Structure 1
Amino acid sequence: MTGELAIDRGVLRISGGDAYKFLQDTISNDMGGTKTGLVYSAILTPQGKYLFDFFVGADGDDYLIDIAVDRAPALAKRLSMYKLRADVQIEATEMFVNRGLGDMPSGAHLDPRHTDLGWRNYSPKKGGEPKIDWTAIRVKHCIPETNIELVADDTYILEAGFERLHGVDFRKGCYVGQEVTARMKHKTELRKGFKTVAIDGAVPIGSTITRDGKSIGQVFSQSNGQAIAYLRFDRAGDGMKSEDVTVSLV
């Protein structure tokens, strides 16, 4: 079983004697999770804003990074900038990201974000044509996607639900952007963030949500009468609209 090809994903290989420590000091999650499966994580700006999200998995003494293919070159460049004199090599691979639901093939790992997202596998063999409606699964469980809900230099990962999606660890050591993220966790109550809403039509991604004539958020991924919306929680409620479409809390 090879599953189906994730056509928009690529794989980087991180190798060298300092690879583990280098990644541990750089990403938002604890690399210890790679001993038993995949780790979902992010790299942030020093101001705590999202830059990249990806999965990290062990491959012998190396580590594989599963990332949106159009973000892979920028991530490789960023990691190269951070490594300084560390014994770390960063290279693109020709491996494919395959994924599926149901029985998991040998060498695959569960998607750590949510059980309904099935498994992921990295292989030189290309999986089948995509048939599963992954957007519907994401929308149902409010799981943001690279380049749609997750916007570089703009999104805060806690507003994007990374704690719920097992993408951040508050017990590990420092990493870039850690101080801002920890302060958001411990010293403030989130007033904005992503939430699945009901929507009785379709609107362009990024469309503004209004209530009582005021802008209170935006609509992003949509499927089966639901959408992932970015909302100001204190202003959300009855009477929300986007374009001429009704948006409702669920």
Structure 2
Amino acid sequence: MPTATLADRAIIDVSGPDAEHFLQNILTLDLDALRDREARPGALLAPQGKIMFDFLVSRSGENALRLECRADIADDFVRRLTLYRLRAKAEISKQDQPDIAVSWQDDSAASQSDSTVRDSRFLSPVFRHYGAAPVADASEADWHAFRIANGVAESGPDYALSDAFPHDVLLDLMGGVGFKKGCFIGQEVVSRMQHRGTARRRVLLVSAASDLPAPGTDLVSGGKLVGTLGSVSGTTGIAIARIDRVKAALDAGAEITAGDVAITPAIPGWAGFTYPEAASAEDA
């Protein structure tokens, strides 16, 4: 059971009689579907529908929720939540130097403690530990290699905040958007993309015969921008790409490159989307 300590993560606690109702009205995911000892992905969007903050949310007690996010955005996230709180009876605070770890590929991790929750983004067993955790025997690089292999994107290494819609990073496919719940910030744009099926940027797995270049490298085919490389682990990586342009390149037998490295794209096995039948009119 590999376990890694995550030093670049933070925890924001939201508690009080109105905590869940307050978050339900602003966040993308449906908290009514959040089970005990489960962590689900979610986002706080700008009114235009792009992701301002991404996180994992889990229950930490009665009328209490735990938001795990990047450490470097935590203070801004607290300020934004406080701005939206208005008169809701909810306390918002960032934990001071929390202990956060992750284990993967072993169901036995589920019995560690009440502060262990299953990360629902993965089909195979992945557990987040808050507080008490097994002894770390793996590195953060090992963890990110596993995350990359599963096609799970996170802001920072894979995309910039305020530059991606939930569909772009597959939040719509991993329980990160509640399409049947009431309104949330940015809902109109996201719902329109869902109902019209207009999402063309998607997360893809990429592989190569040699080491991939640095995150942020453009994916290009026939002189046309196809996407952008995200997290990399040796010869494998994650990219956010225009799947209509990828399909056009594949149909034409054209090479797709990241820098000077030829790459092979693939849809994550768990994802419920396919390449479009034909390239869009824009690319015809």
Please indicate, yes or no, whether the TM-score normalized by the shorter chain is above 0.5. Answer: yes
Is residue 106 from structure 1 mapped to residue 113 from structure 2 by the alignment?
yes
Q: How far is 1:227 from its partner? A: 1.6
How far apart, CA to CA, are the structure 2 residues paired with 1:211 and 1:39? 35
Counterpart mapping for 1:30-49 below 5 A: 30-36=30-36, 37-49=38-50
Is residue 173 from structure 1 mapped to residue 182 from structure 2 by the alignment?
yes
Q: Deviations over 1:140-194 (max 9, x none)?
A: 2211112122311111111111122221111111100111111101113322222
Q: Paired residue for 1:203? A: 213
Counterpart mapping for 1:3-82 below 5 A: 3-36=3-36, 37-61=38-62, 62-82=64-84
Q: How far is 1:131 from its partner? A: 2.7
Q: Report if aligned partners of 1:40, 1:113 keep a CA contact under 8 Å in 2.
A: yes
% identical equivalent positions:
28
User: Structure 1: where are the runs of 5+ without partners?
Assistant: none
Is residue 239 from structure 1 mapped to residue 239 from structure 2 by the alignment?
no
How far apart, CA to CA, are the structure 2 residues paired with 1:225 and 1:34? 36
| Letter paired with 1:246 | A
Q: Which stretch shows the higher mean deviation, 112-121 or 179-188?
A: 112-121
Q: What SS does structure 1 have at the residue aligned with 2:79? A: helix
Q: Which stretch shows the higher mean deviation, 168-177 or 127-136?
A: 127-136
Q: Report if aligned partners of 2:212, 2:234 keep a CA contact under 8 Å in 1.
A: no
Q: How far is 1:206 from its partner? A: 0.6
Q: How far is 1:19 from its partner? A: 0.5
Q: What SS does structure 2 have at the residue aligned with 1:70? A: helix
Q: Which stretch shows the higher mean deviation, 187-196 or 153-162?
A: 187-196
2:226 to 204, 216, 234: 216
Q: How far is 1:224 from its partner? A: 4.5
Q: Report if aligned partners of 1:5, 1:126 keep a CA contact under 8 Å in 2.
A: no
| Letter paired with 1:66 | E
Is residue 151 from structure 1 mapped to residue 160 from structure 2 by the alignment?
yes
Q: Paired residue for 1:96? A: 99
Q: Report if aligned partners of 1:193, 1:232 keep a CA contact under 8 Å in 2.
A: yes
Q: What SS does structure 2 have at the residue aligned with 1:180? A: helix
Superposed CA RMSD: 2.1
Is residue 191 from structure 1 mapped to residue 200 from structure 2 by the alignment?
yes
| Letter paired with 1:176 | I
Q: What SS does structure 2 have at the residue aligned with 1:99? A: strand
Q: Deviations over 1:191-243 (max 9, x none)?
A: 22221122233212111111111222111112242221122222223311121
Q: Deviations over 1:95-143 (max 9, x none)?
A: 3212212212122111010133610121177963643612222222211
How far apart, CA to CA, are the structure 2 residues paired with 1:130 and 1:25? 38
Q: Which stretch shows the higher mean deviation, 178-187 or 108-117?
A: 108-117
Q: What SS does structure 1 have at the residue aligned with 2:171? A: coil
Q: Report if aligned partners of 1:45, 1:177 keep a CA contact under 8 Å in 2.
A: yes
> Higher helix proportion, which one?
2
Q: What SS does structure 2 have at the residue aligned with 1:234? A: helix
Go from structure 1 to structure 2 and tell me whether the alpha carbon gap of 1:234 and 1:39 turns closer, same or farther (over 3 Å shift): closer
Q: Report if aligned partners of 2:212, 2:237 keep a CA contact under 8 Å in 1.
A: no
| Letter paired with 2:117 | H
How far apart, CA to CA, are the structure 1 residues paired with 2:29 and 2:205? 25
| Letter paired with 2:101 | N
| Letter paired with 1:199 | A
* TM-score, normalised with respect to structure 2: 0.82
How far apart, CA to CA, are the structure 2 residues paired with 1:34 and 1:110? 11
| Letter paired with 2:50 | K
